Amino acid sequence: MIKKLLFIPFAALLLIGCESFSDLDVIGNAIDQGGNGHSTKALIAFAEGGDIDAQILLASLYLQGRGLERNRQRAWAWYQRAADAGNAEAQFAVGSMYAEFFTLESHVDQAIKWYGRAAEQDHLGAQTALGLLYRDIRSDRVEARRWLSKAVARGSEKARSALDEMRAAERMEKKRAANARARKRAAGGRARKLVTGAKRQAEEAR
């Protein structure tokens, strides 16, 4: 079927209804195998027509350089269009692309924004990534625990490990704080004894 698709006239390809991702998968495979250009044009046409699955597939092909020249800017643009339309997978992809460039505070904000939108739609990867971002970048334990717990409830081992690490770190901090308070009390007790002893010696010397 793939070989036949390569030789379908471009006008005919545009009439094919991509009603399921399997149709797009055929086009993607044709592009992978070095199609004659018709498949690429068809995919772009579907994407420009607002087909979200086509937009995501086109973005992934550009990002990976599969059958198309690798172009991160075009990949980002197509992921962004699908993300703006509300697709959780695309929102996760946009968040991940921002997460690669934490050189500006605005990049962190954007990563949180897009991970958050995907996470609200129960995207497991986004929930885990958002929890890690809050834990490691923003140091917000409340939000980190919130999203990691959601991911754990849905079976993420990575989130479970991260949450266990958080809890272990919190136990260690509590232990250190308790030890510090104990040392402070002990030091205060010794100081009071010294003062009391000095007063007693002064009274005896009179």
Judge if pTM exceeds 0.75.
no
Q: What does the pLDDT profile of the chain (206 residues) look like in tens digits?
A: 333 333 333 333 333 334 444 577 777 777 776 665 778 888 899 999 999 999 999 999 999 988 889 999 999 999 999 999 999 999 999 999 999 877 778 899 999 999 999 999 999 999 999 999 999 999 999 999 999 999 999 999 999 999 999 988 878 777 776 677 767 776 666 767 766 766 777 677 66
Q: Which tokens in the block code for residue 85? A: 């339309």
134 Cα distance to chain centroid = 10
* CA dihedral sign of residues 29, 44, 98, 140: negative
